[in-house]
Amino acid sequence: MMLSFLIPWLPALTILMAAVVQEMALPLAAWSVFRPDLVLICLFYWRLYRPDRCGPILALLAGLLVDVISGAPLGLNAFSDIILVLFIGRFGRLIRSIDFFYLLFVLSFLVCLSEGIQLALAMLKWGSSVRWPLLMGRPVATMLIAPMIIHILVAIHQSWLEEPHARR
């Protein structure tokens, strides 16, 4: 009974878990350069394959959660996540037709775009210089861990969100 209530919320719950793991289990001090963006991986997957369950509102909430947990300025991650979800939604059909290997490069491009948006907003606010190692290290780390995270999300998607007759 309780599980049937949670099934429609699985994309939101996986994004919530990704945000908590990203910000709590991978501390910024130790993983500053090679810190994967787990929230972006989850948003990327759910927006591509279940756009009815993952939209700009979920991206806004996920970004605000990451901002609150990490202590970043409120709205910095939220704005870049909304832009990326809208981008994925616009080009979703084209992105879904790409081979999985090339999807990793699309994902690394999206991480570079997200970091670029965040750095541009930070430079507008504080006038800081560009942190090139962070801009280059985060896409590499995300691309390396993405196959494992996407495999877990596919297993969750197929076992919980697909209809029983579709699994045959």
Number of domains into which the chain is organized:
1
What is the model's pLDDT at position 125? 76
* 7-21: average pLDDT: 91
* 25-47: average pLDDT: 82
Residue 60 lies in a domain: yes
Q: Percent of the chain scored above 90 by pLDDT?
A: 45
Residue 74 lies in a domain: yes
- Measured over the CA atoms of residue 48, residue 49, residue 55 and residue 58, the dihedral's sign is negative
**CA-CA distance, 57 to 64, in Å (whole number)?**
11
Residue 168 lies in a domain: no
**CA-CA distance, 123 to 117, in Å (whole number)?**
10
3, pLDDT greater than 70: no
Per-residue pLDDT of 141-159, as tens digits, reads 888 999 999 999 999 888 8
161, pLDDT greater than 80: no
Residue 41 lies in a domain: yes
Residue 166 lies in a domain: no
| Higher pLDDT, residue 30 or 13 | 13
* 49-65: average pLDDT: 93
168, pLDDT greater than 50: no
89, pLDDT greater than 80: yes
* 28-47: average pLDDT: 84
Residue 85 lies in a domain: yes
Residue 119 lies in a domain: yes
What is the model's pLDDT at position 19? 92
Residue 101 lies in a domain: yes
Q: Tell me the residue range of the domain where 12 lies.
A: 2-161
